Structure 1
Amino acid sequence: MAQWGRQPFSKADFLFAERIGLEDLPEDSLIRTAYAFWRALAPEPSLPARSDFDATDVPRKIMPWVFLHEVVRNEDGTLDYRCKLMGTSTVAMIGFDPTGHLNTEYFTTPELSYLNESLDLTVNKAIPTFWKAGVPHARYETVAVWRGIFPLASDRKTVNMILGIGEPRRVPRDPK
C-alpha cells in the first residue's frame, strides 16, 4: 500500500500538458466510458449531482482510475480541491493516497498548476474537460496520462464536486 507523503514520479516536471477534445481520446479509452457514465446521470443541460450515483454504480473497469474531489472555495476567490475518493490504481501510480487532503497539501508546482488549472477550468465553465500530459516515470521513460474531468453540482448549476478519471498509457521510446 502506498504511504502518505510527497513521492514524485521520478522528475519534478511534466514533460508536456495540454487540453484536448473528447474526439482526441483513443477509441478504446476508459475516459470515453467515464464520460458516457457521467452524461447518463442527468439529462442535458443539467449537471449531474454527487447524489445521482454511488461508487457501486461506476463501471468496474474504470473504478480503479476514478477520483472524486470536493471544490473548496477560498475567501480570496481561489479554488482548491479536497480529495474524497482516489481509485487504487491511481494511488499506486502516484505513490500515495491523498484522500482527505487538499491538492495544495500534497502537490507542488508544476503538478499543482496543471492539476488545479484543469480543475478550475471545469468548475468555472461547468463543462467536462479532457487533458493529456506526459509524465516521467521510474520504470517507463514516459507515461501519457489522459484525463477526463466532469463537473457535479448539487443545485444542477454551481459545480461543487469533480468526478474525474486518469488513464495512463505507456509512451513508446523513440527508436534512434
Structure 2
Amino acid sequence: MAAAKKYAEFQLLSADPVDIDSLPAGSPVLQLHDYWRSIAPTRALLPGRQHLDPLDIDPQVMPWVFLMDVVRRDGAPLDYRYRLVGTGNVGLVGRDATGELASAVFNRVDAPFVLDTFDLTVENAAPTYWIATVPNDVIGMVTIHRGLFPMARDGRTVDMLLCIAVPRSLA
C-alpha cells in the first residue's frame, strides 16, 4: 500500500518539447537516438523489440533507459506498462515502477500530460524529446533531458517505447 501511495504522489513538475538539435552533443539521449536508428531494419520501418540488445547500449547510457509496453484495450485510451526501469532512473526519482501502468504511477495532475507525451510518440511513430523537471527526495527538483523512441515488432504498429530520462548535469 505504501508503494502505491508513493506512486500516486509522483509529479512531473514541468516539461517542454524540444528539438533534437537543442540537445547537447554527446548527450545520452542522442546516443540512444543513434542506437535506435542503427537497429531499424530499414529507414522506412521502425525497429522492434527483436532488434534491441541491451548489451549493445553504452553502459554509461543504460542506467537511464526504460522500456514501456504499449497497452491497448478496446475503447480505452492507450496506457503504458513499465517493462524495465534503469537503476539511474530508479535512483533519480526514488522508486521503481517496473510492472506498473503509467496511468497508476503518475498523479491525476500529471497523468494526462505524461500519457499525452507517450501517445504523441506512438501516434506519430516518431521520436519525441523533452526537457522536464521532476522531484527528487534528496535535492528537491532535477531537470532532465528525455527521449521517447517508438518500436514496432511489425515495423509499423508501435507496441513499445524505448525511453531515456537523464539529469541535465549528465546530458
Provide the secondary structure at the position in 2 that maps to 1:7: helix
Quote the residue 1:48 is aligned against. 47
| Cα distance in 2 for residues equivalent to 1:146 and 1:11 | 18
Provide the secondary structure at the position in 2 that maps to 1:122: helix
**Retained in 1: the 8 A contact 2:122–2:158?**
yes
Q: TM-score, normalised by structure 2?
A: 0.88
**Retained in 2: the 8 A contact 1:145–1:169?**
yes
CA 119–13 in structure 1, closer or farther in 2 if over 3 Å, else same: closer
Quote the residue 2:67 is aligned against. 68
1:91 and 2:90 are equivalent in the alignment: yes
Q: Once the two structures are superposed, what CA deviation does each residue of 1:18-77 show, in whole Å capped at 9, x if it has no partner?
A: 111101112231100000000000121210011002222221111000000000012224
Deviates more, 1:157-166 or 1:51-60: 51-60
Quote the residue 1:124 is aligned against. 123
Deviates more, 1:95-104 or 1:116-125: 95-104
Quote the residue 1:106 is aligned against. 105
**Retained in 2: the 8 A contact 1:5–1:96?**
no
Q: TM-score, normalised by structure 1?
A: 0.86
| Cα distance in 2 for residues equivalent to 1:25 and 1:127 | 17
| Cα distance in 2 for residues equivalent to 1:6 and 1:26 | 36
Q: Once the two structures are superposed, what CA deviation does each residue of 1:117-156 show, in whole Å capped at 9, x if it has no partner?
A: 1110000000001011122434335311111000000110
For the aligned residues, what is the CA RMSD? 2.0
| Cα distance in 1 for residues equivalent to 2:95 and 2:85 | 10
**Retained in 1: the 8 A contact 2:92–2:136?**
no
| Cα distance in 2 for residues equivalent to 1:11 and 1:105 | 10
Quote the residue 2:37 is aligned against. 39
**Retained in 1: the 8 A contact 2:148–2:164?**
yes
1:169 and 2:171 are equivalent in the alignment: no
**Paired letter, 2:22:** D
**Which structure has the highest helix share of the two?**
2
**Retained in 2: the 8 A contact 1:7–1:95?**
no
Q: Which runs of 5+ in 2 are unaligned?
A: none
| Cα distance in 2 for residues equivalent to 1:101 and 1:132 | 23
Q: Which runs of 5+ in 1 are unaligned?
A: 171-176
**Paired letter, 1:91:** V
State the percentage of identical aligned residues. Answer: 36
CA 120–90 in structure 1, closer or farther in 2 if over 3 Å, else same: same
CA 159–38 in structure 1, closer or farther in 2 if over 3 Å, else same: same
**Retained in 1: the 8 A contact 2:66–2:86?**
yes
Equivalent residues, number: 166
